[in-house]
Amino acid sequence: MAIERIKLHRMALPLRSPFRTSMAVETHRDTYLVEAVTDTGISGWGECVAMDWPGYTHEYTDGAWDVTLEFLLPRLDRVRHDPNPQAVRAALDEIKGHVMAKTALSTAVLDAWLRERHQSLADFLGADKTAVDAGVSVGIPEAQSIDALMSEVAGYIDQGYKRIKLKIQPGWDVEPVRAVRSTWSTIPLQVDANQAYRRTDTALMRELDEFDLLLIEQPLPEDDWVGHVELAMSCSTPICLDESIISLGTCEAALNFGAARIINIKPGRVGGILESVDIHNMCLARDVPVWCGGMLETGIGRAANVALAAMPGFTLPGDTSASSRYFAQDITAPFELVDGQLLVPRGAGIGVDPISEVIAELTSAVAEISLTHS
């Protein structure tokens, strides 16, 4: 097979309700899909998980779109006649950074490559689960209302979610956690700060130890390795790193330094499925728990995440929520909870396809590029 052309589909999906973190409030999922079309007419799909502004990382949607067209596609063109996963990875890695753009493109090509071989992504990865436990991320309520938080959490528990994650920030931390834990004493519970705290907040972080949390996710800035080591030594609750983990090398450093005891793996943040597998394999060998994070993905990104989360080392519930957590209308057939789990797609490639009518309705811009390298 050969990759004949690449098509980018820009779109904004309205969220069911605003999603508030310590960084921003999102009302739409601003994204683009990558469609990789082979010379046999098969399409593979990937999703860019960058936000519409450089608040989570330096990447943002418009920038990822531009770097894909100007820099990544010429590299992909060189291997279009043999787009095996390792060749694609090596070609794209000639460009420094821009991991979310790389992930979207490489996942689309991998999807097409697997569809040509009638192999599922889950099988390619060596997944050993047919379903994965679903966790849910709960944003900071408007006006920081404890009553609103409790109502939202109750709804998710009624739906069957296996784990609750609370977004926290200074001024919204100990008391909301206390309220949730006092009502649901046994539900697996964790918190996510998205880098909102500083080393001077160590005493506050220690207050969270009394609530039997699974972990504290990314409490300090991503480059504060010393602070995370000190915090990990001060708290009995495990520290989990998210934004700090951008590659296999940074994961190894975090574990060797003692900055984290649990790792969040997001393909878009580390540069793709293959890098995610490398991180998983190292953590599995070291008996370090990993889980799959989320970036408000549509069904395209969610399908790849669920397949990844079905690998043996993913022992904690991830942010693999049902489609209905974020969208009234997903762009694929919706992922739905079944006894608190999501079924792992077993069709060829990522195992799902976008709904053409929905894509047509939501798409605001298209770029289509033919690959021509002989």
> Residues of the chain with pLDDT > 90: what percent?
98
What was the pLDDT predicted at 372?
Answer: 80
Is residue 170, in this structure, part of any structural domain at all? yes
Q: Tell whether the model's pLDDT for residue 373 goes beyond 90.
A: no
Residue of 261, 228, 268, 267 whose CA lies nearest to 244: 228
Q: Between 56 and 343, whose confidence is greater? A: 343
> CATH code at 247?
3.20.20.120
Mean pLDDT of 225-238: 98
**Count: domains in the chain:** 2
Identify whether the C-beta of residue 92 lies closer than 8 Å to the C-beta of residue 64: no
Active site residues: 167, 266
pLDDT in tens, 108-132: 999 999 999 999 999 999 999 999 9
* Same domain (yes/no): 114, 126: no
Q: Distance between CA atoms of 370 and 374, rounded to whole angstroms?
A: 12
In this structure, what DSSP letter does residue 4 have?
A: E
* Same domain (yes/no): 104, 211: no
Q: Tell whether the model's pLDDT for residue 65 goes beyond 90.
A: yes
Q: Distance between CA atoms of 67 and 98, rounded to whole angstroms?
A: 8
Q: Tell whether the model's pLDDT for residue 374 goes beyond 60.
A: no
Is residue 350, in this structure, part of any structural domain at all? no
Q: Which domain holds residue 33?
A: 3-118+355-370
* Same domain (yes/no): 205, 338: yes
* Same domain (yes/no): 40, 81: yes
* Same domain (yes/no): 28, 143: no
Nearest-5° Cα angle at 220, 217 to 224: 125
pLDDT in tens, 193-217: 999 999 999 999 999 999 999 999 9
pLDDT in tens, 260-276: 999 999 999 999 999 99
Segments of the chain assigned E as strands: 3-20, 25-38, 43-47, 131-133, 135-138, 163-167, 189-192, 216-217, 239-241, 262-265, 290-292, 341-343, 363-370
> CATH code at 361?
3.30.390.10
Average pLDDT over the chain reads 97
Taking each helix axis from N to C end, the angle separating 248-257 and 225-234, rounded to the nearest 10 degrees, works out to 40
Residue of 305, 361, 321 whose CA lies nearest to 11: 361
pLDDT in tens, 135-183: 999 999 999 999 999 999 999 999 999 999 999 999 999 999 999 999 9
Residue whose tokens read 């069904």: 299
